[in-house]
Structure formats: structure tokens, C-alpha cells
A and B are shown apart, each in its own frame.
Chain A
Amino acid sequence: MKDEIERQQQRVVQYDFVDGTPDMAFGGLCLLMTICFAIFAAFPGLEDSTLSTIIFWAIFAGGGFLIGWLPQRLKERVTFARTGYVAYSRQGRPLKSWVRWTIRIGVPLISVILLALLFLNRSKFPAQSQDTTLFLNPGLTGLLFTGIWVMIGWKVKRSRYYLIAAITFLISIGLLFSGSSGYLGMAVLSGAMSLILFVSGSLTLWKYLRRNPLPTEAADE
């Protein structure tokens, strides 16, 4: 009984990833990052302008939108009608309404304020070569993402994330050995990850739709 209960609880966690929408949402975010890095790579010096600040804010706002809102809308139209609706609570129990609203408003607000402070005061930071920063080292960033995919794969017990981790690892090694750096290298990394995630998400969604046709009658009681 104990094993069955834990197995069921694990299946609930996996359900969020069953249709590939999180992959596609993160793939969308990577695509936005690719565009951003490609623009910075194509127009050197742009990264120091106000425009770059606006672009970065747009990326964060757009990313938050993609990761939060879009998969939910996709799930409402595709997944919930086929295999049912589940609302997750990150604490394992329902949060009170005022806590939910504080998190919804507070976290983005604090993030925006911190980002604004960071960008407005960046001239005060010690000068540093872009190529040597961790953020702009595509090989190391790729290895970091490899670790993230392994962790997600381990948490949700979905083998495709191990495959994504393996491919990301190979790309990272390639970028490390090719000496790619700066915005162009980051654009290559995020572009490759975006492609992998869109392929993974699309295949998962295709498999899910094939296995779960729309119910012909309302299953509700």
C-alpha cells in the first residue's frame, strides 16, 4: 500500500510534464534569449545602451509569461479536456489567497527592481572582460543547464530529460573545445537548446495526443 501511495503521488508530479508543454515553454524562452544574444552579437556596443536594458526586461517579462501563462492555456485546451485537470500547490497544501497574491505580485516586482538597480548601476561594477564572465561562457553555461536537466529528469522520472541533458552536454563540450565565447556562443547554445526543447516538446505532445483522444462524452459527474 505504501508503495502504491508513493507511486500515485509521483504520477501526479509527472502529470505536469506529460504533454510536453513545459519543454516548449522553456524552448520559447531559449528562443527569446537566442534572439537577444544574436542582436548583441550582431551589433557590438549595443549591450551598453538603454535599449539593451529594455530588451533584457522584455526577455524576462516575456520569459515569465511563456513559462507561466502559455503552458497553462495550452493545457486547458489540450490536456485537461483529455486526461483531467490538476492544480498544483508548491507547498503540498493549498496556499492562502493573500499569500498567493503576495507571491504573484511581490516576486516579479522585486525581480524587476533588482534588475533595474543592476542595470542602472552596472558602470559602478569593476570592469570585466565579457568573455571571462561565467554568464557569457557558453560551454560552462551549457554544463550548468546539463545539471539542471539531470535534476529535472531525476525529479519527474522522465527519461527524455536525461536525453536532453546528454545532448546539452555534448553541445557544451563542443562549445568549450571550439573556444566559442561571448554573445555569439551564447546565441548558439540557447538556439540549440531551443531547438532540442521544441523537438522534445512536440514529440511528447504528439505521443500524448495519439494516446489520449478527446473523450466522446463528458466524464464529469
Chain B
Amino acid sequence: MSDELRSLAGVDRIIHEPSRSIILAILSAVESADFLYLQRETGLTKGNLSVHLSKLEEAGYVSIEKTYRGKVPLTLCQLTDQGRQAFDSYRKQLKQFVENTKE
């Protein structure tokens, strides 16, 4: 296996899933976003989004806070420092891989 392929094999599997990488991409650009916004932007169902967020939370990449805005329940999602570092590192790895495998 070449070094380029080996470097791809080493990417974070939690992030290396399209839906989760999109969730992290959105959260990396904001301080926090709620469940509704993430659902609309990712196009995922409530159940799927919930599962992906749980996985990201378990990995320590996202913090989830259940709160209220007036009487409306609000689930606020925020990228943790660990999540930001992991996402930055993932992007660097992908970029590196693309650069190395250019014709």
C-alpha cells in the first residue's frame, strides 16, 4: 500500500462519513446551531440526524444542550475544541491525499 493510501486509511472514521462531515462543516462555521437548522441543511430525517449527533457527542466532537426559547424546546449543538481540532486535522489529511494523488 502506498503512503498516500495509507494516510487515507488513517482518517478519523467518525468524521469520514458524509452526513457527519457536513454536520461538522456547518458547526465549524458557527458558534452553535439548533437541530432544526441542521436538519434542513443536511436533509437528514430527525432520526438519522439524532443518531449522527449522538455519535459525534460520544466522540466528544459535539456538545449538545437541550434548552428552551420561550416555551419552545431547543436543541443547541456546538463544536467542541476537540471536535474542531479533529475536523481541521481531517480536512488537512484529505487535502494532503488529494494533493499527493494528483496526476
B is a partner of A? yes
Interface positions of A (Cβ within 8 A of B): 1-2, 4-6, 8-9, 11-13, 15, 76, 80-81, 83-89, 92-94, 215, 218-221
Taking A2-B98, A218-B72 as contacts, is the C-beta distance between A87 and B21 under 8 angstroms? Answer: no
Asked if residues A5 and B37 are in contact (CB atoms below 8 Å), the reply is: no
Q: Which residue of B lies closest to A12 (CB)?
A: B29
Asked if residues A80 and B95 are in contact (CB atoms below 8 Å), the reply is: no
Bound Cα distance A151, B34 (Å): 29
Distance (Å) between the CB of A21 and the closest chain B CB? 16
Bound Cα distance A1, B25 (Å): 11
Bound Cα distance A15, B34 (Å): 13
Q: List 15 A-B contacts (CB under 8 A).
A: A1-B21, A11-B26, A12-B41, A80-B34, A84-B35, A84-B37, A84-B38, A85-B74, A86-B37, A87-B30, A219-B35, A219-B39, A220-B35, A220-B72, A221-B50
Partner of A85, one of B28, B46, B69, B98: B69
Bound Cα distance A22, B91 (Å): 32
Taking A84-B37, A85-B36 as contacts, is the C-beta distance between A8 and B26 under 8 angstroms? Answer: yes
Question: How many chain B residues have a CB neighbour from A under 8 Å?
Answer: 36
Partner of B30, one of A1, A6, A88: A88
> What residues of chain A lie closer than 8 Å to B38, measured between beta carbons?
84
Distance (Å) between the CB of A218 and the closest chain B CB? 7
Distance (Å) between the CB of B93 and the closest chain A CB? 11
Asked if residues A84 and B33 are in contact (CB atoms below 8 Å), the reply is: yes
Distance (Å) between the CB of B7 and the closest chain A CB? 15
Asked if residues A2 and B46 are in contact (CB atoms below 8 Å), the reply is: no
Bound Cα distance A8, B18 (Å): 12
Distance (Å) between the CB of A219 and the closest chain B CB? 4
Asked if residues A92 and B29 are in contact (CB atoms below 8 Å), the reply is: yes
Q: Which residue of B lies closest to A90 (CB)?
A: B31
Asked if residues B31 and A89 are in contact (CB atoms below 8 Å), the reply is: yes
Decide yes or no whether B86 CB sits under 8 A from chain A.
no
> What residues of chain B lie closer than 8 Å to A86, measured between beta carbons?
30, 32-34, 37
Asked if residues A220 and B36 are in contact (CB atoms below 8 Å), the reply is: yes
Asked if residues B69 and A76 are in contact (CB atoms below 8 Å), the reply is: yes
Decide yes or no whether B49 CB sits under 8 A from chain A.
yes
Asked if residues B22 and A11 are in contact (CB atoms below 8 Å), the reply is: no
Q: Which 6 residue pairs across A and B have the least CB separation, nearest first?
A: A84-B37, A84-B36, A89-B31, A85-B34, A12-B29, A5-B25
- B60-93 contacts to A, CB under 8 A, are 69, 72-76, 78, 81, 84, 91
> What residues of chain A lie closer than 8 Å to B32, measured between beta carbons?
85-87, 94
